[in-house]
């Protein structure tokens, strides 16, 4: 089907160009001949020798037109192939992309327009390939995250049914923890799906951010004391800002939970906040394990984990920072991670428009 379309395009271009060339040349020749004949007829009547000469000229003109027609067809074929070659290449590449050969690229060349079109096509193909890789990785990660607690649940329940051990309170608590992990994972995935569709519900109201930060720090104070980590705040008259308080509370919970998870005993976690004109700057800074340059590029990706700071035995779903990014961007803001390197701590900062 694709080859037939390409052949039809090539033939149509060839006939069109040949017809245009032939029409121009023949029209020029006829005009020259008619103009010359009329000019001679105005001067005097043609003699027999002149009439014979005109007849011979007419035959030569017909022969010349035939030759010119062949030359026009040849030129039309060459020009049409030159014009249609990049289009044919793009058509074939689009066919390969449609067949999910997403590594397909086209060579860049030809006119300025074709160069821009080739660049746009290659960019689109690269984006599709990256999206497909992310989709495949996401499916693999979701399968793995669901399989682990489900396998534990199945094994424990099977052992209880087979009376390998009694289903005492400790085992029930373990099973409950696995179910909580599954519920948290499903809820996180649902929120990310809503954010991707730009349907994450937001109830923006004027909110006192300083009070919201104080409230959140009070929730995490017992956990920080248990881990021997200092919780501090550096807030500068944040005032009221129009946000969804529950969502921003969720952002702070995820950032503080992440910071405490990777900050060792004796370290500190500080919440920094200030209002710069119409932009709110809010950051969670820790003295924990830190991040290297490669980790900084991927730290907000879903299920991304590094060997040192995102291991599965810490109990997180690997979606907390991705949710932070989705909520902040849904508010029209942006979020970024900073670190001077492994062992140097890290800072997760977000900026939100005041209105």
Q: Which residue has the tokens 């060579």?
A: 107
Q: In whole angstroms, what is the distance from residue 1 CA to residue 316 CA?
A: 51
Return the structure tokens found at 174: 């373990």
Specify the pLDDT at position 308. 43
Could you please report the per-residue DSSP string of 228-239?
T-EEEEEEE---
Is pLDDT of 184 > 70? yes
Tens of pLDDT along 105-137? 888 876 677 778 888 888 888 888 877 877 777
Residues 6+ apart with CB under 8 A from 345: 263, 267, 285, 286, 287, 288, 290, 339
According to DSSP, the β-strands at 346-353 and 279-286 are antiparallel
Residues 6+ apart with CB under 8 A from 23: none
Specify the pLDDT at position 38. 47
Which of 110-114, 179-183, 193-197, 330-334 has the largest mean confidence? 330-334
Tens of pLDDT along 136-152? 777 777 777 777 778 87
Tens of pLDDT along 9-67? 555 555 556 566 566 666 665 555 555 554 455 445 455 565 565 566 566 666 666 66
Return the structure tokens found at 137: 């990785």
The length of the chain, given as a count of residues: 355
Contacts of residues 257-260 at CB distance under 8 Å and 24 or more positions apart, as own/partner, are: 257/220, 257/316, 257/320, 258/284, 258/316, 258/320, 258/321, 258/348, 259/284, 259/285, 259/286, 259/288, 259/346, 259/348, 260/220, 260/223, 260/224, 260/227, 260/229, 260/286
According to DSSP, the β-strands at 268-276 and 230-236 are parallel
Select the more confidently predicted residue: 146 or 212.
Answer: 212
Which whole number is the average pLDDT over 91-95? 79
Select the more confidently predicted residue: 351 or 9.
Answer: 351
Is pLDDT of 166 > 60? yes
Nearest 5°: CA angle at 134, between 137 and 316?
60
The helix (H) or strand (E) run that includes residue 205 is strand 205-208
Q: Are the C-beta atoms of 236 and 273 separated by less than 8 Å?
A: yes
Q: In whole angstroms, what is the distance from residue 38 CA to residue 36 CA?
A: 5
Q: In whole angstroms, what is the distance from residue 310 CA to residue 320 CA?
A: 11
Specify the pLDDT at position 119. 84
CA distances for 79 relative to 6, 13, 83, 115, 131, angstroms: 15, 8, 6, 18, 38
Confidence of residue 171 (pLDDT cuts 50, 70, 90): confident
Which whole number is the average pLDDT over 152-168? 79
Nearest to 315 by CA among 141, 178, 138: 178
């Amino acid at each position: 089907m694709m080859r037939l379309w390409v052949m039809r395009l090539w033939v149509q271009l060839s006939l069109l160009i040949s017809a245009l060339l032939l029409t121009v040349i023949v029209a020029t020749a006829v005009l020259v001949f008619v103009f010359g004949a009329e000019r001679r007829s105005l001067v005097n009547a043609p003699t027999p020798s002149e009439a014979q000469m005109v007849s011979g000229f007419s035959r030569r003109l017909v022969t010349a037109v035939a030759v010119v027609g062949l030359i026009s067809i040849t030129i039309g074929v060459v020009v049409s192939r030159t014009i249609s070659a990049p289009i044919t290449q793009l058509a074939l590449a689009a066919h390969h992309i449609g067949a999910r050969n997403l590594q397909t690229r086209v060579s860049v060349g030809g006119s300025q327009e074709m160069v821009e079109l080739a660049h746009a096509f290659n960019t689109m193909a690269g984006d599709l390939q990256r999206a497909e890789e992310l989709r495949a990785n996401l499916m693999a990660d979701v399968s793995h995250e669901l399989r682990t607690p489900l396998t534990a649940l199945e094994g424990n329940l099977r052992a209880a049914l087979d009376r390998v051990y009694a289903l005492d309170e400790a085992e029930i608590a373990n099973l409950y923890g696995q179910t909580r992990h599954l519920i948290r994972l499903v809820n996180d995935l649902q929120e990310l799906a809503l954010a991707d569709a730009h349907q994450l519900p937001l109830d923006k109201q004027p909110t006192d951010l300083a009070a919201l930060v104080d409230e959140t720090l009070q929730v995490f104070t017992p956990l920080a004391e248990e881990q021997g980590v200092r919780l501090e705040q550096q807030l500068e008259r944040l005032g009221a800002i129009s946000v969804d308080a529950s969502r921003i509370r969720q952002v702070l919970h995820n950032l503080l939970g992440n910071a405490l998870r990777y900050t060792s005993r004796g370290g500190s976690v500080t919440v920094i906040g200030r209002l710069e004109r119409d932009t709110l700057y809010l950051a969670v800074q820790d003295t924990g394990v830190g991040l290297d340059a490669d980790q900084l590029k991927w730290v907000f990706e879903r299920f991304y984990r590094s060997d040192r700071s995102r291991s599965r035995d810490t109990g997180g779903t690997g979606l907390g920072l991705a949710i932070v990014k989705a909520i902040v961007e849904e508010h029209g803001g942006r979020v970024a991670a900073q670190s001077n390197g492994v062992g140097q701590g890290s800072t997760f900062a977000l900026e939100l428009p005041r209105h």
